[in-house]
Amino acid sequence: MHNRRCVLSFVLVLYFFIISACTPQLALPNLITSVPPKTLRIWLWPGSGLETLIKSYSLIRPDIDVEVVIAQFDDILPSLKIAFATNGDAPDIVLLESSQLNQVKHFQPYFYNLYDFNDERIHYLDWKWRQAENKDRTFLYGMPADIGPIALAYRHDLFKAAGLPYGREAVGNAIRSWEDLEQAGVLLKKKTGVFLFDNLANVYSTYLNQFDAPYQISQDYHGSPVNPKVKAAWDLAVRYHKLGINAGLASQTPGWAEGAVNGQFAAVLAPSWVHGVMKKNAPATSGKWDLARAPGLPSNWKGSFLAVPKLSRYPKEAYELAHWLTAPQQQLTNFLTNGNFPSTPESYASASFLEVRDPFFNGAPVGQLYSYPALRYQAEYEEVEFSRMDRIVRDGLRRVEVEGADPEKVWAAVVMQIQEHEGGD
């Protein structure tokens, strides 16, 4: 009987080990658990190029799932404000353009101070980092994602036909000022009948954004709601219109595409992210364009940032993703694949950056040309929400070039609209 009990005990123990080996989670339920990944929601607008980078992040961080929500640019801020007001559904990370960032500076309690996680300013352009801070430099709203330095894209074949310099270095040396550009435009029109520029808005924006805080309002303007720099940019654009060197073709329209293909205009003032638009709208002109330094002081069109709202469920993980997406290597990758120009000077020293040649622009060294204004651009802190003001001015210029409206009367109407806008706020 004793032996039978021993055998039975042995069989039971053996059975237990067999079951344990086959189903370890049944045997050790408290020691082996599966932790589900955390899900971060990020709001982007079309064309940011960040979606591809996010897929790469998921490979190195299997503990993080990222849900990408693509929203229209104009819907981002209203949706964010509704979420703040209702304590509702909000992103863990949101992509904000510089004007949008200036708006959210009035909602500081609704965002995490990214300085609470780390201080990475050493990796970024000083002026770009400053744009992301509050006035006293104690609060960081967002990680700098990209910038928009300006170069002059020009048709080298049309410049050559007009007897103008047409090599990129020769153009850069000959057209250093806005006066030089004006003279080139007048000669181009006289010799070939071709307009210099596609539209006034690009001239206006490039000239205006040479200056620091061009929309900042001051009591020194004798009661006017408009910074004198805005009026100077308006006057320059109108002068080009009166000289007859502007085609009046709005960017990203069928008319613009047709004008580009048919050689109606010979130059576009553009940041690198506009290249994709040009290639999409006028692929037949590939190789006919080249790039040179833009005239005047270095200029920059806006740029974007990644911010972490206070409604984020996982702020630490959200910051880690925002930091990774805006690190030098990822910004370089986004430039090489999508054209978004890096805000990280370290990227500019990379061999792949320096070796970039764009066949659409006659093999121009895109990285080298755009890093020149990026490193020399000057900007200080501002928190003016300038997007609506900018739209009012650009709409006014459109009336001048398309409808033939009187510039002085339109300007008076622009000032009145801006004043109403400022009073309404």
CA distance 366 to 356: 6
Place of tokens 């910074």: 227
Mark 313-345 as b/e (b = at least 16 C-beta within 10 Å).
Answer: ebbebbbbbbbbbbbbebbbbbbbebbbbbbbb
The answer to whether the pTM exceeds 0.95 is no
Query: Radius of gyration over alpha carbons of the chain, in Å?
Result: 28
CA distance 323 to 387: 26
CA angle 223, 386, 204 (to 5 degrees): 90
CA distance 397 to 407: 8
**pLDDT tens, per residue, the chain with 425 residues:** 444 444 444 444 444 444 444 444 444 444 445 678 999 999 999 989 999 999 999 899 999 999 999 999 999 999 999 999 999 889 999 999 998 999 999 999 999 999 999 999 999 999 999 999 999 999 999 999 999 999 999 999 999 999 999 999 999 999 999 999 999 999 999 999 999 999 999 999 999 999 877 766 654 445 567 889 999 999 999 999 999 999 999 998 999 999 999 999 999 998 988 888 899 999 999 999 999 999 999 999 889 999 999 999 999 999 999 999 999 999 999 999 988 999 999 999 999 999 999 999 999 999 999 999 999 998 877 777 788 888 999 999 999 999 999 999 999 999 999 888 665 44
CB distance 265 to 200 below 8 Å: no
Collapse the DSSP code of 171 into the 3-class scheme (helix H, G, I; strand E, B; otherwise coil) and give the result. Answer: helix
151 class by beta-carbon count within 10 Å (0-12 exposed, 13-18 middle, 19+ buried): buried
Collapse the DSSP code of 212 into the 3-class scheme (helix H, G, I; strand E, B; otherwise coil) and give the result. Answer: coil
CA distance 168 to 149: 17
256 class by beta-carbon count within 10 Å (0-12 exposed, 13-18 middle, 19+ buried): buried
